[in-house]
Amino acid sequence: MPFHSRANFDSTMKIVLAYSGGLDTSVILSWIKEKYNAEIIAYCANVGQEEELKGLEAKAKRTGASKCYIADLQEEFARDFIFPMIQAGAVYESQYFLGTSIARPLIAKGMIEVARKEKADALAHGATGKGNDQVRFELTAAALAPDLEVIAPWRDSSFRNEFPGRAEMIAYCEEKKIPVQASAKKPYSSDRNLLHISFEAGILEDPWMDAFAPKNKDMFKLSVDPEDAPSKPEYVTLDFQRGNCVAVNGKALNPLGVMRALNKLGGRHGVGRVDMVENRYVGMKSRGVYETPGGAILHFAHRQMETLTMDREVMHLRDSLIPRYGELVYYGYWFAPERLALQALVTESQKHVTGTVRVKLYKGNIMVAGRKSPVSLYNPAIATMEADPTKAYNQDDATGFIRLNGLRLKVAAKVHPKRN
């Protein structure tokens, strides 16, 4: 979406800003209010970041906002975003559980709902022009509210020239009497929600630096160092119905409850840590470190449930789409028609994924310790290496099966003989 100059707007313009109360968004709130002579409505989504939200409304208003919405989206996040993604087995580049990626379309959706309620003219965010989040916010806006403009100050050269660093931002806040607590910049940036916490930039920009070294233990928030985890393994059962976890250790829970329970269990045993160099959508490589304790358990257990209950060809078809689904989430196409179409296939694939999985957690590891289902497709009488009491499988039939499947290989070998 285009970035418009102030001349495009009149003094009655309303802008909904994604607001956290930190230094960046506090500066942005004041800056866009001045630049566009606009009414600013601050919006903060609680997606499980566990940050202090108390006093945020008063702070936003002291900074210049006319209103501040604080929306608790945790239940919706777990139910309508995390769980459908888990059903799809989604993972980006075989490692990343998409914790930040999946939260952004929900936050943008919430902003749009407020914009409609307030009859706002535009949305604004503080995502950098080098990252993925700007794309995720704005593709959601394109899909759900194509009439709304999107303002991205970090893509405005005048903003970057005015604020080349934190020192200039702090000085601006002092001048404008903006209530922010200026502190030394952390040696990395982090983002937390119900599914994970991510760390990037700063000292992590060196891919040779060992993020899991003992000296960096204080960086991690959701999980203990696997070396410090209990020396005794812990067994956990997860009950599934139609591909969704509905109980942990026999206790019925809603999706939000499942995530909270698994985060606690996984964090205690140091599971779900990932250090990777990933390919950002904007073209560059980036090093990210992630903690996803509950999500890692859920992803693993869900797969184990599928192995017992899902048809082979359905599984292989769905699995072939995992990289594509993961890209769609990572790139910001959650509300795009192709993701919705894939989700319909995923939902159909999950209708028999029902049963119980038992996992063992031990010093950073998740191991399967059992699976059972009332609709299991595993038949030990057929799979046994002993005599098949059901006579459902005649081993003699394999001769013709192999002969037919090898026919094309024999024909090709005669036409194109391989030379040793």
Structure tokens belonging to residue 24: 């960046």
**Closest by CA position to 91, among listed 290, 359, 244, 267:** 290
- Distance, CA of 97 to CA of 91 (rounded, Å): 5
Query: How many contiguous H segments (helices) and E segments (strands) does the chain have?
Result: 15, 14
- 3-state SS assignment for residue 321: coil
Mark residue 173 as left, alpha or beta (left: phi above 0; alpha: psi -120 to 50; beta: remaining). alpha
Q: What is the pLDDT of residue 6?
A: 43
- Distance, CA of 366 to CA of 178 (rounded, Å): 47
Residues 66, 41 contacting (CB under 8 angstroms): yes
Structure tokens belonging to residue 322: 């995992």
Strand partners, 16: 41, 123
Is 368 buried (19+), middle (13-18) or exposed (0-12) by CB count in 10 A? middle
- Which residues, other chains included, contact 206 with Cβ-Cβ below 8 Å and sequence gap of 6+? 287
- Which residues, other chains included, contact 391 with Cβ-Cβ below 8 Å and sequence gap of 6+? none
Tell me the torsion sign for CA atoms 107, 277, 260, 349: positive
| Ranges of the chain whose pLDDT falls below 70 | 1-11, 182-184, 420
Q: What is the pLDDT of residue 390?
A: 84
What is the residue-wise DSSP string for 389-403?
Answer: TT----TTHHHHHHH
Indicate the DSSP class of residue 114.
H
Structure tokens belonging to residue 260: 């909270």
- Model pTM greater than 0.85? yes
Q: What is the pLDDT of residue 184?
A: 64
- In this structure, what are the phi and psi dihedrals at residue 371, rounded to the nearest 5 degrees? -150, 145
Q: What is the pLDDT of residue 67?
A: 97
- Distance, CA of 418 to CA of 232 (rounded, Å): 55
Indicate the DSSP class of residue 92.
B
Angle at 135 between CA 185 and CA 170, to 5 degrees: 25
What is the residue-wise DSSP string for 186-208?
Answer: PSSEEEE-SS-EEEESGGGGSTT
Q: What is the pLDDT of residue 9?
A: 47
Cite the active site residues: 24, 104, 133, 189
How many other C-beta atoms are found inside a 10 Å radius of the C-beta of residue 61?
A: 14
Q: What is the pLDDT of residue 182?
A: 62
Residues 173, 27 contacting (CB under 8 angstroms): yes
